[in-house]
Amino acid sequence: MNIKLFDSEIKVMEVLWKEGDLTAKQLADILSEKIGWNKNTTYTVIKKCISKGAIERYGNNYMCKPLITEEDVEYFETKELINKIFKGSKVKLFASFLNREILSDEEREQIKKLLDENE
């Protein structure tokens, strides 16, 4: 699912992905404690997520349910980054990263395994 989420919206989604369905009030309480948001900020961001189709609200107590997965967002954001910065080239993305980062043996093995599974 291709939904562009802003950082604030991702913060709301991260709580739902971790905790499961919550009331809007529970979300507000968690985000107040976690990052200092007030209730109105959380409710505004929830409404934005609902209008984008990322959250469904149901029931009398305004339960919030994520309609997209963390993997959906990771895929969309990665695809957008590759298209925007690397002109659609996955090879350029990896080359840029590998030219500046040193991978551990374990990370190299994990990447090799992923590449082998992708054949």
Q: What is the CATH number of the domain that holds 53?
A: 1.10.10.10
pLDDT of residue 34: 96
Residue range(s) defining the domain that contains residue 92: 86-119
pLDDT of residue 58: 96
Per the structure, how many domains does the chain have?
2
Please check whether residues 47 and 98 belong to one and the same domain: no
Q: Residue 76 forms beta bridges with which residues?
A: none
Please check whether residues 11 and 61 belong to one and the same domain: yes
User: pTM to 2 decimals?
Assistant: 0.82
Q: How crowded is residue 79: how many other Cβ atoms within 10 Å of its Cβ?
A: 13
> CA dist 12 to 25, 31, 42, 64, 108, Å?
12, 8, 8, 10, 33
Which residue positions in the chain have pLDDT lower than 50? none
Residue 75, in any domain of the structure = no
pLDDT of residue 6: 95
pLDDT of residue 1: 66
Residue 1, in any domain of the structure = no
Residues 6+ apart with CB under 8 A from 22: 15, 16, 30, 63, 64
Please check whether residues 15 and 51 belong to one and the same domain: yes
pLDDT of residue 63: 97
Instruction: Read off the tokens for 90.
Output: 């996955």
